Structure 1
Amino acid sequence: MDLRARNWSDRRTFQSRDLTLADLLHAKASTRISVVIPAHDEARTIGPIITCIRDELMIQCGLVDELVVIDSDSTDETASVAEGAGAHVFSAA
């Protein structure tokens, strides 16, 4: 990467360890934050992921306002598991 591009990237890139929860909540202010997760046949894994985001980022600290799963024609129970865990589910089909 050339120096100009590297400098641009460095000024606009943040690592999670660089920001505290207080920093994030202050930056959020009145902005709504949505987490959107695309999924296809993820019934085995989507529940714990949704639960973790919901519990830690929505309920405990209020950083995330909306949790959405876009189900891409899953042939398993991805949509129902995600909805049962607390996500709004939409079909990509």
Structure 2
Amino acid sequence: MHKEGDEIHIDEQEASGGSKEGVVRWVLAGGLILAVLLMSIVWIIPAMTQGDIEEEATVSGEISSMEGGDSTDSIVGIDGEPGDGGEVTQEDGIEVIEN
């Protein structure tokens, strides 16, 4: 700080009360990188170690389990076979099953 006549001149560091080294910028950048890495680890590790039961909960696991052949999730009498109680008819090009 110096005085020129009636004017008092203060440099930027004295006016702000501290130095401007850019430390906050580095702390924020480091924190962001650390958060992204930790979130990735939390997501990737369980995805790599999932078992058969967890795999069926995914869309690809659901599709592969449906391709397996006979399933107990089918509707009884969907083909309209004799004796199953279902009769298949066509209405406007759409199959209709009547029970």
Q: What range is the shorter-chain TM-score in?
A: under 0.3
Q: Which has the larger radius of gyration?
A: 2
TM-score for the superposition, normalised by structure 1? 0.20
Q: Determine which structure has greater relative contact order: mean sequence separation of CA pairs < 8 Å that are 6+ residues apart, divided by chain length.
A: 1
TM-score for the superposition, normalised by structure 2? 0.19
